[in-house]
Structure 1
Amino acid sequence: MSDKRALLLSSALELFYNKGTGAVGINEIIAYSGVAKKTLYHHFSSKDDLILAALSLRDQRYMQWLAAKLADAQSNGELIRKLFQALNDWFNNRATELGEFRGCFFINTAGESGALNLQILNRCASHKVAVRSLITTSLPQPNDQLVDALCLLKEGATTSAFVQGDKQAALRCIDMALAFDTPAPFSV
């Protein structure tokens, strides 16, 4: 990736994540990055192309961060704790590789795009599928019901932390998630 393209993309992602894709115009990205308009259009044919590239960059960063946080869990319970502690760190701005917490970039972008751009909406959805797949493959003991619960609790905690300012939402999810990992009592 060229230096100018990387600078444009990093600048666009920062602005889009902090302000929203609809609120940020091409001129603001140009001014913020210090890159010429001609250079921007050399690398990206439209604002939508730049949004898609920003989504891909955020996906890459988020997935690397989450994979590192979930690595080497020895039990499902340990993975649950690792997941929600990592989210707690992110919500409280202790995950520097993700930047200041402004909610989920994919939920925010999908909400702004709606049905207006199916490509953007599909890119946001594919991120959620990738997160689910990572959680599934990271579980030491497979458990589909637990994966469902973890994904829903993760999304709910992220939304609560951003929309309601509930920075402890992830920590409260731990006991709820652990309940899904407990085997059902044996009955005759």
Structure 2
Amino acid sequence: MDKRQHLVTTAFELFYREGVHAVGINRVLEAAGVAKKTLYHHFDSKEALVAAVVEYRDGRYRDWLLARMARAGTGQRALAGLFAALDDWFNDRDPAIRPFHGCFFINVSAEYGDPAHPIHQLCADHKRAIAAQVTGVMAQITDDPEQQQRLAQAVLLLKEGCIVQAHVCGDRSAAVRAGELLTALLREAGLAAGPA
């Protein structure tokens, strides 16, 4: 791993566990075992490092989630795979994504609360990319564009809600219940339920 990537992954671990504003540059340098000159060779500011960390987590998280969905199958199986993946994440069962400290993008966007801030925008871009993937899966389930959008929004609300419930309230079974609610919603919409 090169020094830039080492700085990014080290900063991610600290920012994810403790928060961006709670972790100073000197703490990142100490944990990474690099000199300040090395950091500023790769990043001109702490915010540039934070942006790189958000982009790093975006790539890692999306690759992980999309792989878990693809492994489950297509259509409703992929959606079941999404909630199974979240359940494994919440309960620290998947070494590819653990540990669970809530949604990094929700956490970071709260620290950069201005929606126009570039780091807040990077977090929003991540959420939009996940939304596009879910909408694409919904197109495998129904041909009705209006129904696709409505059900995709329901999936996204269930996904985000169960992440917050697991993190803020410590409810590590939230993804299981969200998946069950989705199955019921799909039945009510006149679509066959996926396999258990």
TM-score w.r.t. the length of structure 1 is 0.92
1:127 is matched with: 126
2:110 is matched with: 111
Structure 2: distance between partners of 1:4 and 1:48: 18
Q: Which amino acid aligns with 1:78?
A: R
Q: Which amino acid aligns with 2:4?
A: R
Instruction: Name which of structure 1's ranges 142-151 and 163-172 shifts more when overlaid on structure 2.
Output: 142-151
1:168 is matched with: 173
Deviation beyond 6 Å, 4+ runs, structure 1: none
Paired residues, what number?
184
Q: Which amino acid aligns with 1:182?
A: R
Q: Which amino acid aligns with 2:62?
A: M
Which ranges in structure 2 are unaligned for 5 or more consecutive residues?
143-147, 191-196
Q: Deviations over 1:33-65 (max 9, x none)?
A: 001100000100101000000000000000000
CA contact (8 A) 1:65 1:97 kept: yes
CA contact (8 A) 1:71 1:138 kept: no
Deviation at 1:117, TM superposition (A): 6.8
The 3-state SS of whatever aligns with 1:94 is coil
Root-mean-square deviation over aligned CA pairs = 1.7
2:185 is matched with: 180
Q: Which amino acid aligns with 1:119?
A: P
CA contact (8 A) 2:19 2:108 kept: yes
CA contact (8 A) 1:76 1:181 kept: no
2:47 is matched with: 48
Query: Which has the higher relative contact order, 1 or 2, with Cα contacts under 8 A spaced 6 or more apart?
Result: 1
**1:117/1:43 CA distance change after superposition, 3 Å:** farther
Which ranges in structure 1 are unaligned for 5 or more consecutive residues?
none
CA contact (8 A) 1:80 1:178 kept: no
The 3-state SS of whatever aligns with 2:44 is coil
Structure 2: distance between partners of 1:34 and 1:26: 12
1:35 is matched with: 34
Q: Deviations over 1:132-156 (max 9, x none)?
A: 1112223422422221111000000
**Is 1:141 matched with 2:141?**
yes
2:158 is matched with: 153
Q: Deviations over 1:86-145 (max 9, x none)?
A: 000000011222231000000000111111870011000000001111122234224222
Structure 2: distance between partners of 1:22 and 1:174: 34
